[in-house]
Structure formats: C-alpha cells, structure tokens
A and B are shown apart, each in its own frame.
Chain A
C-alpha cells in the first residue's frame, strides 16, 4: 500500500567472479541493473570498456531457434490437447538452470528447425513439379518425342497460335504454297492452340510467311526427352515420392510432440540467459574489475549486502536525491487485498516515486462500484466462481492473474449488493413463478414485499425507483471525490505546502459544508449563510500567486474550473445507476421472452424452452456487462478519482530476476 523506497547501488567487483555474482543477483531478484551514469568527462572512467555482446547474441540465437522449433511443432505436429486451462508445471530453480537439459533442448530445437527447412524445400519441389506438369499438359496427345529436331531435309517447329485461329484456313493457305508440309494438332486450351509444323526445306521460306501471318510463335521445349506422356508419368512419380517424403518428415516432427514441455522450459531458460546477459552488457569493465550501478529496494538491502559479503567486491548504497526522483524506479508494496488493483493502476500509469500508491485507496471504491453496477446475486456468483476456478486451476501470473483475482472480489461484491437490491438473474424469481402460476417465493431483500409477511424488500429497487438509486450513486461519488481531495491535502502538507492545501482544497470543503448548511437552513447568522460566505471569501486566495489584473482572472478561472469540475465529476457517477439499470432491464427482457412461450404451454415443455432462452440471454448479458462494468469502474477511478490527487509517470522497477512464462519455480528455502 505504499511505494517502496529505493536506494542507488554502486558496486565494483572482480571480473572472474562476475558470472557467479550475476547469477546470485538473478536468484535474489532484488536489483535492477541500469545504465551507469554518464562520466565520460573523467579520463579514468572514459578508459573503461563495455563487455562483449557475444554471449548475449548467442542466447538470443538460442531463443529464436527454440521459438521456431515450437512454431514448427505447433504447425506440423499433432494437435495438442488441453487449452487455456492447463496448469504450468512446477520445477525447481536447479532444474530450470540444468545445463544438460538446456543443451538437449537446444539440440532438439535444432533438429526441428532442420526438419522445418526440409518441409519447406519439399513444398517448393512439389510446386516446381506441378508447374512442369501444367506446361506439358497441352502436348500430352502428341506421340512424337519432344526433342524431335530439324534435319537437313525437314524443318520441325513446335509452336502455338491464338485459340481463335481458324486452323483449316491456315492449312489451306499452307497448301497453296506447297504439298510438302504437315501440321499436327497437339492440343488446345482457352488461350492457345498447340501445333507441330513439319515441312520440306525447299518450301520453308514460303511456309514461314504463312505461319507469320497466322501469328504462329515457337515454343521452347528444351530440356525434355521422350514424349510428353512419358515425361508426365515421370513427373507423377516424382510428385508421389515428394509427397511420401513430406509425410514422413511431418511424422518426424510429430515425434517431437512429447518434448513440447521440455522445449518450453528451454525457452524460459533462454529468456533468463538473455536477461542476465543484457544486465551484463550494462556494466563497465577495466582489465580485471567491473562496475555495476543499479537500484535496490530498501527492505531487500540487508539480505543483498549479506550475500555480497561472500564476494571480493566493494559497494555503496545511497538514498536518491529529490531531483533524481523522475528516474527512480517504482515498486508498489501491497497486501493480498490490494495487490490485484495493480493491473488497474498500471493500465493508467504507475505513480511517480514521490506520489501516492493508489491501490489501497482505490480498492474499496473499485470493488463497491463494480458490485453496484453489476449488482446481481446470480451473475456475481458466476463471475466469482469462474474466476476462482481459473485462479485455482491455472495460477495465472502477471496482469492477467491480478485481473482474475480482482474479479473474484468484484464478483462477491456484486453478489452481495445484488442480494440486497433484489437482483437474481434480474427478476428471474418473479417471471419464473409467474409463468408457472405459482406465488412468488418470499425471500428477504430478493423479492418485492407483498405487505403481508413483513419480510424486508430490496434496499434499492432500480427498476421501480431509479431516482433514489441515482441520488445514492451521486452521494457515493461525492464521498470518493472527498477522499481524493483529502489525499491531495495530505500530500501538500507532507511537502510543506500547508497554505496551498488550505486555500486550494480546504476552500472547497468550506463551500461544500456551507452549501449543506444553507440547504438545511442551519447556522445562519442574521439571515446570512456564514459558512458559505466564508468559503466564497476564501476563494479570493486563488489569486495569491498572480499579479495585478491577473488576480481577478485567476480567481474567476478557479471558480469556473472548480464549479464545473466538481459538478461534472459528481454527475459522472450517475453511470453507477445507469449501468445497474441497463443490466437489470436487459436481463428482465430475456426473462420475459423466455416466459412468454412457456406461459401458454404445459410446464414440461415450457420450462425447457424458458431455460434455453434464459441461458443464452443471460450468458450474453453477463459477457456484455462484465466488459462494460470493468471499463466504467476503471474510468471513474482514472478520470474522477485520480484527477483529485494522482501524480503519475513512475517507471516500473524491472529487477534482474527469474521471470518464466511456461513453468513455475518452486520456492526453495
């Protein structure tokens, strides 16, 4: 619930211990190693060099190879069962960093990449063969070999004319020149007619003119021997062979399916290598020593320094100066309850190092607002149950894990608020019992009271009395805005700006109280609302930093911004009621739609029909509402709440640690 204090760490160690020291830091996961500050003006510092990037490139190559291997496996391997709900395996750190397994994994990856290359070659080969087959297709009817060449006596030409050419007319024209010719028709397609032309050398010149006239163009059939049909058979055979080989190669890929887990672990390992090598590349080297600069959280400092004592190195830690605050990384310290809100905060922006961690302040409002908008006992239980199941089964990490855990709490909140506001799949109880002609069950809060049993009705009934809900929503919004203002007040006081706190924020409180008293008609002195007048006079303080006529515009500006700002912000909370109502109305319409056909039919038919419509409709409504409610709850925090006090722009703390995607590391003590 706070921003963890950081200290600058500077360390000089021996190069021969560097690898082991970096591994220790990665194991501890409590130091962010960043670029050392610029000291190039100092000749002693300028002589230091950067470590070579050979090992980093090697680790990146390894990662690419494993990644490609996994892609190959996914593309050509057998379909893997299990989907999103498969839990990650848990291994120890020793297993993750086992070099033997890493080497085996990389070797397997290499094999898979080679197989992938072979598959690509085979596909290319098949394409080539098919193209050749297509080129031969028009000549298939020809029974002379394709390499038939001209002799000293006879000229032979393979060629084509346009499909529209009248071959009989062409033969007639040739016949007029000579009898010593032969025009063989090989085949035709949509565009061309394929011909072989033979003639005696004596008539060649005359015939050529006729051929030219009819647009005869020679075809290049070099490289073929034997008839087209023979070649075609050979190509077919080659195609079959290629297909067989392709099948065999894909089957070989399939044999690696069992190694998917090992390859994923290998990918995780490669990522750790990259992280450590990247950190190493940020160091500065002399011939025997290295220099490291980074950030360590104050709570981890003792643990780190104890471990560093085992190495030949010297170090210092230092609190950052206020002018360094923009570069200090930000880490939020949270308990189980507020930790899931981090995903909401991060989506906006982390707080600045000298700002305030909003998670704890936001948590009660966020969960309440979500519950209020979603407000339905049934929906809430489904949401909380589904998210709890995912959390238990998959143990999701990172932002998604936080979101899932947040939704468990929001689901419970929705269920509770839904119970007190009479929402159970909207008005399912009423519509369902009404359809069957039964009396409505009497459940406290959930059912509208009949006035006989004395059971309490819904505390807020958004369908029957939306005005009360609207006023309630605005009141809750007012509370959140006041909380935001208190935080800002506190921040200003903390930074020693007490006068600013009182004049900028206290003024509005006095005005709010004044308006309240005026409306209630109490506290008036001689008919004047004193508190309100004092508040308005305090507004004059808004002009304190401006000069001359600027004072007037500063005051007018502050009044205008204040009135429109607070007024608009509070009105914005009307969405609490709007979303609550929208969800109920749509749910109710589905209930009525379900009950309508069921009403006239016997229950044995009516009830199944009702539930089909009920399930489809409410599933749709839940999906729609979860997304909408999530966005609008977040929006109220970002725009209305954060506006009052939030100082954003923090840079997230990214320590050198073991961050895995496919496996979980077992905590070892």
Chain B
C-alpha cells in the first residue's frame, strides 16, 4: 500500500474522528474546569452556611453545559460521518476535513467559555454568601457567558448539518 492509498483509505475518518474528539474533549475540559472553580468557591461557603447548598449547586452546574454541547456536536459529527450506519469508511478526506473544521468552534468556544463561566459562577457564590436573596442576579450574569457557548454550538451545528 502506498502512502497515498493509506491516506485515501483512512485519513477521512481520522480527521472526522479528530474533530468529534476535540469538540467533545475540549468542551468537557472547559466544563470540568468551570464546574471545578465554582465548586471550590461553593464548598468554601458551605463550610460556613450549609443551608445554601441548592443555590451553590445550581451555580456550579451552570458551567457544566459546555460539556453537553460538546457531546452533542461530537455526536452529530459521528452521525454525519456515518459511524452508526456503518458507512464511516467511505468518508473522503475533504469530508473528514469539513467535519474537523466544523467541530473547531465548539471545541474552542466550549473550552474557553466554560472556564470563563466558571469564574463568574465562583464570584457569584460571593453573592449567595452576602445577599442570598439576590443570587439570581449572579445566575443571570453566568447565563450571559452561556450565550457564546450556544453560538459556538450553533455554528458547529450548521457546518456539520449543511457542510456536505
């Protein structure tokens, strides 16, 4: 088998899988860091005032959605590549590269927005500590960051669904 043949046979699927892996993997890293930051701050408050558990928990899970979005994009990419219908081997290099490119917004957007949102959530734990009645405002601030993860999801979705 020449190198050219090798590429023709495997590179399409490889690039497609790489895209799905990045979308799911990096977005999950972003969520893990985000929920981790918020969780640390929440645990600090709960040591003082355990009755605020539900509020801290909601703030902590907000940065967790990026991981889900990444999973959705990764999943849609695998579906588009034909993994579930068994046609993944027929993927051309061009199609594989399209999937890879389509996954990048979600991978980067999910990674960075998850971390940024985690920082807002961690700071919002301070609102819960000082003014528990105003904590919903902290939640609103977190959701503003969420929008950019949704935009990443949207553009990745459009590229995957209508890319080829």
**A466, A585, A592, A620: most-surrounded residue (chain B CB, <10 A):** A585
Interchain CB contact under 8 A, B147 and A586: no
Contacts A624-B65, A628-B143, A631-B140 hold; do A578 and B151 have CB atoms under 8 A apart?
yes
Residues of B within 8 A of A634 (CB): 140
Interchain CB contact under 8 A, B150 and A582: yes
The reply to whether the CB of A581 lies closer than 8 angstroms to some CB of chain B is yes
- Residue in A closest to B62 when the chains form the complex, CB atoms: A627
- Residue in B closest to A590 when the chains form the complex, CB atoms: B72
Residues of B within 8 A of A596 (CB): 84
Residues of A within 8 A of B68 (CB): 586, 620, 624
The reply to whether the CB of B139 lies closer than 8 angstroms to some CB of chain A is yes
The reply to whether the CB of A589 lies closer than 8 angstroms to some CB of chain B is yes
The A123-156 residues at the B interface (CB cut-off 8 A) are: none
Chain A proximity of B159: nearest CB distance (Å): 12
Interchain CB contact under 8 A, B75 and A582: no
The reply to whether the CB of B129 lies closer than 8 angstroms to some CB of chain A is no
Interchain CB contact under 8 A, B143 and A627: yes
Within the assembled complex, what's the spacing in Å between the Cα atoms of A457 and B149?
Answer: 31
Within the assembled complex, what's the spacing in Å between the Cα atoms of A373 and B154?
Answer: 14
Chain B proximity of A374: nearest CB distance (Å): 14
Interchain CB contact under 8 A, B157 and A589: no
- Residue in A closest to B151 when the chains form the complex, CB atoms: A578
Residues of B within 8 A of A627 (CB): 62, 139, 143
Interchain CB contact under 8 A, A631 and B144: yes
Q: Contact flags (1/0) for B125-164 with A, using CB distance below 8 Å?
A: 0000000000001011001101100110110011000000
Interchain CB contact under 8 A, A592 and B147: no
Within the assembled complex, what's the spacing in Å between the Cα atoms of A632 and B153?
Answer: 16
Determine the main DSSP class of A at the interface with B: helix
Residues of A within 8 A of B146 (CB): 628
Interchain CB contact under 8 A, A582 and B143: no
Interchain CB contact under 8 A, B158 and A628: no
Within the assembled complex, what's the spacing in Å between the Cα atoms of A635 and B142?
Answer: 13
Within the assembled complex, what's the spacing in Å between the Cα atoms of A579 and B146?
Answer: 11
Contacts A592-B79, A631-B143 hold; do A578 and B150 have CB atoms under 8 A apart?
yes
How big is chain A's contact interface, by range?
Answer: 20 to 34
Interchain CB contact under 8 A, A466 and B158: yes
Chain B proximity of A576: nearest CB distance (Å): 12
Interchain CB contact under 8 A, B150 and A628: yes
Residues of B within 8 A of A282 (CB): none
The reply to whether the CB of A260 lies closer than 8 angstroms to some CB of chain B is no
Interchain CB contact under 8 A, A589 and B139: no
Q: Contact flags (1/0) for B70-86 with A, using CB distance below 8 Å?
A: 01100110010000100
Q: Contact flags (1/0) for B17-43 with A, using CB distance below 8 Å?
A: 000000000000000000000000000
Interchain CB contact under 8 A, B139 and A585: no
Partner of B154 from A578, A592, A632, A635 at Cβ < 8 Å: A578
The B94-150 residues at the A interface (CB cut-off 8 A) are: 137, 139-140, 143-144, 146-147, 150
Interchain CB contact under 8 A, B153 and A575: no
Residues of A within 8 A of B69 (CB): 582, 586
Residues of B within 8 A of A624 (CB): 65, 68
Residues of A within 8 A of B137 (CB): 347
- Residue in B closest to A599 when the chains form the complex, CB atoms: B84
Within the assembled complex, what's the spacing in Å between the Cα atoms of A579 and B147?
Answer: 9
- Residue in A closest to B153 when the chains form the complex, CB atoms: A582
- Residue in A closest to B141 when the chains form the complex, CB atoms: A631
Within the assembled complex, what's the spacing in Å between the Cα atoms of A596 and B83?
Answer: 12
Contacts A578-B151, A592-B79, A628-B146 hold; do A586 and B84 have CB atoms under 8 A apart?
no
Within the assembled complex, what's the spacing in Å between the Cα atoms of A422 and B26?
Answer: 33
Within the assembled complex, what's the spacing in Å between the Cα atoms of A620 and B65?
Answer: 10
- Residue in A closest to B79 when the chains form the complex, CB atoms: A592
Chain A proximity of B4: nearest CB distance (Å): 36
Residues of A within 8 A of B157 (CB): 581, 585
Interchain CB contact under 8 A, A585 and B143: no
Interchain CB contact under 8 A, B139 and A586: no
Chain A proximity of B115: nearest CB distance (Å): 19
Within the assembled complex, what's the spacing in Å between the Cα atoms of A620 and B69?
Answer: 12
Residues of B within 8 A of A582 (CB): 69, 150, 153-154
Interchain CB contact under 8 A, B72 and A585: yes
Residues of A within 8 A of B75 (CB): 589, 592-593
Interchain CB contact under 8 A, B153 and A585: yes
The A538-585 residues at the B interface (CB cut-off 8 A) are: 575, 578-579, 581-582, 585
Residues of B within 8 A of A628 (CB): 143, 146, 150
Interchain CB contact under 8 A, B151 and A589: no
- Residue in A closest to B158 when the chains form the complex, CB atoms: A466
Residues of B within 8 A of A620 (CB): 68
Within the assembled complex, what's the spacing in Å between the Cα atoms of A581 and B62?
Answer: 19
Interchain CB contact under 8 A, B147 and A575: yes
Within the assembled complex, what's the spacing in Å between the Cα atoms of A632 and B139?
Answer: 12
Residues of B within 8 A of A585 (CB): 72, 76, 153, 157
Chain B proximity of A657: nearest CB distance (Å): 20
Within the assembled complex, what's the spacing in Å between the Cα atoms of A592 and B137?
Answer: 35
Within the assembled complex, what's the spacing in Å between the Cα atoms of A593 and B72?
Answer: 10
Within the assembled complex, what's the spacing in Å between the Cα atoms of A632 and B145?
Answer: 11
Chain B proximity of A61: nearest CB distance (Å): 24
Within the assembled complex, what's the spacing in Å between the Cα atoms of A596 and B79?
Answer: 12
- Residue in A closest to B65 when the chains form the complex, CB atoms: A624
Chain A proximity of B138: nearest CB distance (Å): 12
Interchain CB contact under 8 A, A579 and B150: yes
Within the assembled complex, what's the spacing in Å between the Cα atoms of A589 and B140?
Answer: 26
Q: Contact flags (1/0) for A613-632 with B, using CB distance below 8 Å?
A: 00000001000100110011
Within the assembled complex, what's the spacing in Å between the Cα atoms of A638 and B139?
Answer: 16
Chain B proximity of A650: nearest CB distance (Å): 19
Residues of B within 8 A of A589 (CB): 71-72, 75-76
Within the assembled complex, what's the spacing in Å between the Cα atoms of A95 and B1?
Answer: 93
Q: Contact flags (1/0) for A214-245 with B, using CB distance below 8 Å?
A: 00000000000000000000000000000000
Chain A proximity of B140: nearest CB distance (Å): 5
Chain A proximity of B99: nearest CB distance (Å): 16
Residues of A within 8 A of B65 (CB): 624
Partner of A632 from B62, B71, B84, B147 at Cβ < 8 Å: B147
Interchain CB contact under 8 A, B150 and A586: no
Chain A proximity of B122: nearest CB distance (Å): 18
Within the assembled complex, what's the spacing in Å between the Cα atoms of A351 and B75?
Answer: 47
Within the assembled complex, what's the spacing in Å between the Cα atoms of A237 and B29?
Answer: 57
Within the assembled complex, what's the spacing in Å between the Cα atoms of A586 and B69?
Answer: 8
Residues of B within 8 A of A578 (CB): 147, 150-151, 154
- Residue in B closest to A621 when the chains form the complex, CB atoms: B68
Residues of B within 8 A of A631 (CB): 139-140, 143-144
Within the assembled complex, what's the spacing in Å between the Cα atoms of A444 and B75?
Answer: 30
Within the assembled complex, what's the spacing in Å between the Cα atoms of A631 and B150?
Answer: 13
Residues of A within 8 A of B84 (CB): 596
Partner of A586 from B72, B79, B143, B144 at Cβ < 8 Å: B72
- CB-defined A-B contacts under 8 Å, sample of 5: A347-B137, A579-B150, A585-B76, A627-B62, A632-B143
Interface residues of A (CB under 8 A from B): 347, 466, 575, 578-579, 581-582, 585-586, 589, 592-593, 596, 620, 624, 627-628, 631-632, 634-635
By Cβ-Cβ distance, the 5 closest A-B pairs, closest first, are A631-B143, A589-B72, A582-B150, A578-B154, A631-B140
Apart from A592-B75, A628-B150, A632-B143, what are 4 other A-B pairs with CB-CB below 8 Å?
A578-B147, A579-B150, A582-B150, A620-B68
